Structure 1
């Protein structure tokens, strides 16, 4: 989906929501959160702010990473007869029964941040354009590596293999690197875990000491990369001879600081505020019987070590 179409759809949804505020009385939104970590809290806070702005009551439940718990929590929201459910799923297969229960009860379901492409109950999705985000991080890496001769070994720290965001970021990244005819990508799963990222990076550099670049599916893992490169005396800043190119996706303070200091070359920053606002706007439209786009994706913004500090105000995790 082209960026202009995506943003145009979101603007249209926002205008629709604004025009239907008079229907906001006594509306209750159920918010089902998989678990609370920094970026998820950012989206959740945006949802809460937008719901309050529109005068909605919000019932929030947090599954703490347990899919069975989330299934029960969604069933409870259905029993409480909420007007719409916003859900970020722990696992689609486990909660599908509860989501179908919501559909049978006539309750619209909006998936946010994590797509549920195989669900029969979801009415709309809003989240990051993870393919575009991975592509942007990969393209910058290509631009830094394309002048090198010989075989180029690149380490890819994968996200969770059952998370559409992780899958799509990898797809975008790999699509970008196809421009390099002499590249070898060493892909290591991390399940979004920084300790696993540290071990994976250590193992990769032991097996391939001449790795030229590392892509982190989440920039919260960049400190793990920095630790390994420091330990093996390969810690060089952007522009220095022997620098290992590092890019990532997210927008956390870890990614911001690493890029600002010149350890990382650049990161893609997700727009968490717009994601949360759009989730509520989609729910508003569905409650009022309006048709919406099924898929609504929001591309992130790529910042380099040269411009990230001047854009600090737009980076959700920067402190």
Structure 2
């Protein structure tokens, strides 16, 4: 029987605990062991296998996220199977299908794009395997197409970046925006939050907005081309992540500008290289986007496993780093 009618019934009632019980009954593995898999599991429960569909491992943030999940899985006694979509949506769909074929008990999914993953979510639902979205959202209904979303408030991140830039520039700036993966929820939300704030300040003008694909090399290349075209009109850069900001710093230096002086730069992520750039005076500030999903992901898996109520969204608290505190946190950054 399809799970859709049951999902809709429980959603109308506002209850997710009953919703997750049906998938769990169908996906629990047979085990010849019987020992507790982790310290907080009841004796006799079998060891669970968690699948993690990572969208790519091409930057420090992604690598830190995967490392956090691996560490927490080992700590709690779970087996973690990690796939790498290599920044390709079609491969990510295939990766999820592969995890389903391996009969994992639950899937953590870091979507490359907001749209395009419906076949993967449908396949998991048909197999009665619950899916938890991590760090990016995907098209679908919580509690029906997936259990919940774990991540940051990306709109708020964009707002915080804009508020800092308005203050630093006195409300007047010619801005270059380096955006993230086209079609991703995070890029759309970070752009929206930023625009929500600068719309209130007529002197803040976006001169150019181009994707750097969350890549340092692409950010540098795009910034180099824009700098050649717009020259001294550029007085500020807003990058959707630190990697693109670091690339932009290199491009601006090469064009004869002084990052941090001639051009104010703000970004999002909070990686160590960004905090070091703040200490050097090149990067003005970065809004943290915490990659350490291990604890919250496995706490949520435990809730699913026990049939407890799961909120449709769990947000991570992010800090803000600038010249007043970067030195304090650089040692613990990823």
TM-score (norm 2): 0.79
1:29 paired with 2:54, answer: no
- How many Å separate the matches in 2 of 1:213 and 1:23? 59
> Which residue of structure 2 aligns with residue 64 of structure 1?
86
* Compared CA separation, residues 41 and 181, structure 1 to 2 (3 A): same
> Which residue of structure 2 aligns with residue 153 of structure 1?
174
- How many Å separate the matches in 2 of 1:22 and 1:294? 29
* Compared CA separation, residues 264 and 23, structure 1 to 2 (3 A): farther
1:57 offset after TM fit, Å? Answer: 1.7
Count of residues in correspondence between the two structures: 292
> Which residue of structure 2 aligns with residue 3 of structure 1?
none
* Compared CA separation, residues 200 and 21, structure 1 to 2 (3 A): farther
- How many Å separate the matches in 2 of 1:125 and 1:137? 23
- How many Å separate the matches in 2 of 1:68 and 1:200? 26
1:247 paired with 2:266, answer: yes
> Which residue of structure 1 aligns with residue 147 of structure 2?
123
Q: Tell me, yes or no, if the aligned pair for 2:259 and 2:265 is still in contact at 8 Å.
A: no
Q: Tell me, yes or no, if the aligned pair for 1:222 and 1:258 is still in contact at 8 Å.
A: no
* Compared CA separation, residues 263 and 64, structure 1 to 2 (3 A): same
Q: Tell me, yes or no, if the aligned pair for 1:21 and 1:54 is still in contact at 8 Å.
A: no
> Which residue of structure 2 aligns with residue 232 of structure 1?
255
1:280 paired with 2:302, answer: no
* Compared CA separation, residues 61 and 232, structure 1 to 2 (3 A): closer
* Compared CA separation, residues 130 and 116, structure 1 to 2 (3 A): same
> Which residue of structure 2 aligns with residue 12 of structure 1?
none
* Compared CA separation, residues 64 and 196, structure 1 to 2 (3 A): closer
> Which residue of structure 2 aligns with residue 6 of structure 1?
none
**Equivalences for residues 132-281 of structure 1 within 5 A:** 132-146=156-170, 148=172, 152-186=173-207, 187-205=209-227, 206-207=229-230, 209-235=232-258, 237=260, 243-273=262-292, 275-281=293-299
- How many Å separate the matches in 2 of 1:101 and 1:219? 35
* Compared CA separation, residues 288 and 302, structure 1 to 2 (3 A): same
Note the aligned Cα RMSD (angstroms): 2.4
Residue of structure 2 aligned with 1:292, choices 307, 310, 328: 310
Larger radius of gyration: 2
Q: Tell me whether 299-308 or 90-99 shows the greater mean CA deviation.
A: 90-99
Deviations 1:37-56 (A, max 9, x none): 32111111111121222211
1:246 offset after TM fit, Å? Answer: 0.6
- How many Å separate the matches in 2 of 1:283 and 1:165? 23
Q: Tell me, yes or no, if the aligned pair for 1:132 and 1:299 is still in contact at 8 Å.
A: no
